[in-house]
Amino acid sequence: MRRMTTPAPRAATLQDVAREAGVSLATASRVLNGSTRKVAEAYRERVEAAADALGYAANMSAQATARGTSSTLALLVADIADPYFAQIASGVAHAAADEGLVLTIGITEREAAQEAQFVRSLRGQRPRGVVLAASRSSAGASEALTAVLNEVEQMGGTVVSLGAPSGTPGGRMIAVQNREGSRMLGAALAQRGYSSAIALGAAEGLVTSDQRLGGFAEGFTGDVAVRRDGFDRESGYRAMSDALAAGVPGGTVVFGITDMVALGAIAAIRDAGRSVGDDIAVAGFGDVFPDIEVALSMTTVRAPLRDLGEQAVAAVVADDWSDADPLGVEVLLRGSTPGR
């Protein structure tokens, strides 16, 4: 016996909405697809009510064509699980919601090829903006990433980078005081009596890492040994383990370029049977601790990361923009770096 199937329900179309609202197709399109042409408030209310009643979903491509750009905002982060990027993303998300923007997040692990692929996949949506949150290289972005970001700008979108220029003609930038904050931290630790330091950073050429390592060396008046690995907890653990294997005298202070690097260093110190504080002091950068016990005990530099995210959205939507001075930071001296 031949089986009878029930046809799938048909999605409401713009024509259906116009018919339900009793307006022309052009009027319905202007209301729902983002046209800049004015529509009488009474007509707008009728069209929106009809769309809600029919469950109509606006066509993003049509909206992008009408406006030049869509309501999509793309945020590229290295790792959303990292509290540093989570705080930035929180600021971006709240500000984007206030501006009526739809946020999409790409996790790129600081790989330029992944960044380029993610942005390339969004081109058809004509994004209103792209925010690059991961640390940039001083050598500049890859040719592929630069090319696709240029295409975003040519289609009317805005590219905003955090910490270093994107390299695009219309690119805008927001930053925090990475070098100055690390310089202040180094000076404060020297004043506490430390004369020997180990600075744990990322690969040479990554702007955020180089700024923080450079600033710390400028502020710290004693000897600074630099070890490079990455930005995360595992990187801090590896770099600190290598340092401990080579020998670390008591009274040394360790500076991690991020709080997560510093947390990794703490774990390595404890696993080696050493203690944090009076034996080996530890400091970080960011004030993004996921653990309240650590938050109350580790010396760090507080960075306004949520504000950074909010400012990034402001840079996306502003008609005119001049890159402002980096956002201020604050040194927080706690129990992990007692006075010598």
Distance CA 294, CA 288 (A): 10
pLDDT at 6: 47
Instruction: Return the half-sphere exposure (C-beta side, CA atoms, 13 A cut-off) of residue 170.
Output: 19
Token output for 290? 């996921």
Q: By C-alpha distance, which of 307, 310, 303, 288 is closest to 73?
A: 310
Distance CA 140, CA 288 (A): 28
Radius of gyration of the chain (CA): 25
- 3-state SS string over the chain? CCCCCCCCCCCCCHHHHHHHHCCCHHHHHHHHCCCCCCCCHHHHHHHHHHHHHHCCCCCHHHHHHHHCCCCEEEEEECCCCCHHHHHHHHHHHHHHHHCCCEEEEEECCCCHHHHHHHHHHHHHHCCCEEEECCCCECCCCCHHHHHHHHHHHHCCCEEEEECCCCCCCCCEEECECHHHHHHHHHHHHHHCCCCEEEEEEECCCEHHHHHHHHHHHHHCCCEEEEEEECCCHHHHHHHHHHHHHHCCCCCCEEEECCHHHHHHHHHHHHHCCCCECCCEEEECCECCCCCHHHHCCCEEEECCHHHHHHHHHHHHHCCCCCCCCCECCEEECCCCCCCC
Token output for 105? 């997040």
CB 254 within 8 A of CB 225: no
pLDDT at 24: 79
Q: Along the 340 residues of the chain, how does pLDDT read in single tens digits?
A: 445 444 445 677 777 888 888 887 778 777 776 555 667 888 888 888 888 888 776 655 555 444 445 789 999 998 888 899 999 999 999 999 998 899 999 988 877 788 888 888 887 788 999 999 987 776 666 788 888 899 889 888 999 999 888 888 889 999 999 999 999 999 999 999 999 999 999 999 999 999 999 999 999 999 999 999 999 999 999 999 999 999 999 999 999 999 999 999 999 999 999 999 999 999 999 998 756 666 569 999 999 999 999 999 999 998 888 877 899 999 999 999 999 8
Q: Domains of the chain, with CATH numbers?
A: 14-58 (no CATH), 72-175+307-317 (3.40.50.2300), 178-304 (3.40.50.2300)
pLDDT at 65: 47
Distance CA 26, CA 62 (A): 12
Residue position matching structure tokens 């910490």: 163
Q: What are phi and psi of 327, to 5 degrees?
A: -65, 140
Distance CA 129, CA 207 (A): 22
pLDDT at 77: 92
Enter the pTM of the model.
Answer: 0.78
